[in-house]
Structure 1
Amino acid sequence: MFVSSRSTLRRRALAAAGTAAALALTLAACGSSGDSSMPGMDHGAKSSASASASASPSMGDMTGMDHMAAGNGLSDTQDGYRLTNRDASLPTDKQSAYRFAVTGPDGKPVTDFALDQTKRMHFYAICSDLTGFQHVHPTMAADGTWSADLASPAPGSWRMFASFTPDSGSSKGKDFVLSRTVTVPGKAAKTPLPAAADSTEVDGYDVTVKGKPMAGMAHPLTVTVTKDGKPVTDLQPYLDTYAHLTAFHEGDQAFAHLHPTTKVNGDHGGPELSFHAELPTAGNWRLFLQFQTAGKLHTAALTLNVG
């Protein structure tokens, strides 16, 4: 489930450092309560049909501010665009819809978004301890309110990332990643970040990552997928590519998208997939690799140390 290549502008924007305000969010931890074959991680859920305009909150109902310094997706505002949400909390261990909107420089809800990797909006939910993770594609109501169905988030602090490209206005064609935090009430069980490793297993598939990126430098990564010791060659396209790879930095949840360079050739992906990695900050990054076989989406996670 790697997506098509993003613009250089996004890579530059995601390269800026996060702020100490974001570090405070790591005090509240949470694990996954979803049905996943990997402890501490939720598979991405699919959004339901778009809510009706009458059922959607108006922009006046969107409450709370969550201003952060720009860069790495840790801000809710950039170039006049703002991510707003209605609720500061979500139900515990229960599927629920996270409703949000993007307002433009004129203060009005944006409703014109360009297709990116077959979707007009990519949405990510990540727990403060980088365990729980969901990647969903929300639906938009007529008034510009998006609804992202989340699968039973566990108690703790979660950061919600919205990745989009306006299709009109002064920032037409520019990539944005904005985020806000939300609390899931209850006792949060802190889950230590797994140690850095070059391989992991999910749903019977073994995933190996080769490459040692350095902070602030472009570096290739190679992902190899095998099963029962044999190369996997039946990866199916997902979001116009064979795999989708996102990364979050330990300590501040800074976001990065790693760009695939492997070309798609029908349902014959694998066993090796190449990526362009440009991780701006040293330390541990939690990588989430999504790929599809026989119509089923798999999400593998591992910790990568960046020097």
Structure 2
Amino acid sequence: MSQRFRTPRRALAAAAATAALTLTLAACGSGSDSGKGHDSGMAGMDHSASPSPSGSSDGMAAMPGMGTASTGNGLAAAKDGYKMTSTATTLPAGRAADYRFAITGPDGRQVTGFAVDQTKRMHFYAIRSDLSGFQHLHPTMAADGTWTAPLASLQPGTWRLYASFTPDGDAGKGKGKDFVLSRTVKVPGMAMTSSLPKASGTATVDGYTLTVKGAPMAGMAHQLTATVTKDGKPVTDLQPYLDTYAHLTAFHQGDQAFAHLHPETKVDGDHGGPSLTFHAEFARSGNWRLFLQFQTAGKLHTAALTLRVG
């Protein structure tokens, strides 16, 4: 029982790809609810770490992804008169910390009206420059429009922080449009950079095995299908999470361009699985790091996947 699931923040490419894709995935670590107010506590997903004096600098945006729909590629702090602002340029290493920010509108004032998308008015993501340490949070907003995101412990390096939202109320001409804006912060200390895991067709997390099939190409809409099993048996008890059976976020290796994908499968109580079909659009070719979140028995699981887009 499937239907087309609206993807408010999907990537819309400016150019079609010319080469075929080999879809490959690699598992890395697992995620669960960790820390108060957090949806994922994958703050230190190490791959094959090696010492480096620092993470990538803000120059990582020097290779922007192709233009997308109203969300953009998530690499800019401002778009269409809306701006993500913050006084924080650094965050402490090795401990939880709050990140405060605001969204200003075309009139320069802090926006306080936001539409609900997937049960939340703001989705917030943190990723280190080597695509490790993923966190997905839902910050709280004060009356003046100041948001507070309670980040779990961050490892040294450069981090990009994304705010995904839809203006509402009298916010201006951006009302009803989906935006993804981002800023970077430095976390001081000796960074241990991680290499992206090698490709594989399956991923495991918390005893679950995910098998992904599909052949996406940059700039074109394609279908991805993820099948969830446990101990070799199909999983059919996925619970709704943010009004869907799985939340899928992707970041491009090299520039950290953002893509937000959703399953097309209709939610029908605690009966999701074993197969989930995704409408996928990626702005550019290359390696993308995917983070697929799903829930069973009240526990959130996060699988990390490496996807090669042709």
TM-score under structure 2 normalisation? 0.81
CA contact (8 A) 1:125 1:161 kept: yes
Corresponding position of 1:178: 181
RMSD value, Cα: 2.3
Q: Deviations over 1:264-293 (max 9, x none)?
A: 010000000000000111110001000000
Confirm whether residue 257 of structure 1 aligns to residue 247 of structure 2: no
Partner SS state of residue 209, structure 1: strand
Distance 1:96 1:238 in 2: 25
Which protein has greater RCO, CA pairs closer than 8 Å, 6+ apart? 2
Distance 2:304 2:105 in 1: 34
Corresponding position of 2:125: 124
Corresponding position of 2:37: 47
Distance 1:39 1:201 in 2: 8
Q: Sort the Cα spacing of 1:265 and 1:41 in 2 relative to 1 into closer, same or farther, 3 A.
A: closer
Gaps of 5+ in 2: 16-26, 39-57
Q: Deviations over 1:160-195 (max 9, x none)?
A: 000000012221110000001011111001110011
Gaps of 5+ in 1: 18-36, 49-64
Distance 2:299 2:31 in 1: 17
Partner SS state of residue 11, structure 1: coil
Corresponding position of 1:239: 242
Offset of residue 260 of structure 1: 1.4
CA contact (8 A) 2:30 2:302 kept: no
Corresponding position of 2:202: 199
Quick one: which of 252, 263, 268 aligns to 2:271?
268
Distance 1:302 1:173 in 2: 31
Distance 1:167 1:161 in 2: 19
CA contact (8 A) 2:30 2:206 kept: no
**Correspondence list, 1:51-90, <5 A:** 71-90=72-91
- Structure with more of its chain in helix, by fraction: 1
Q: Sort the Cα spacing of 1:40 and 1:154 in 2 relative to 1 into closer, same or farther, 3 A.
A: farther
Distance 1:44 1:248 in 2: 22
CA contact (8 A) 1:42 1:151 kept: no
Confirm whether residue 295 of structure 1 aligns to residue 298 of structure 2: yes
Distance 1:131 1:83 in 2: 23
Quick one: which of 185, 195, 216 aligns to 2:219?
216
TM-score under structure 1 normalisation? 0.81
Q: Sort the Cα spacing of 1:42 and 1:131 in 2 relative to 1 into closer, same or farther, 3 A.
A: farther
Aligned length: 266
CA contact (8 A) 1:198 1:302 kept: no
CA contact (8 A) 1:208 1:223 kept: yes
Percent identity, aligned pairs only, is: 68
Offset of residue 11 of structure 1: 3.1
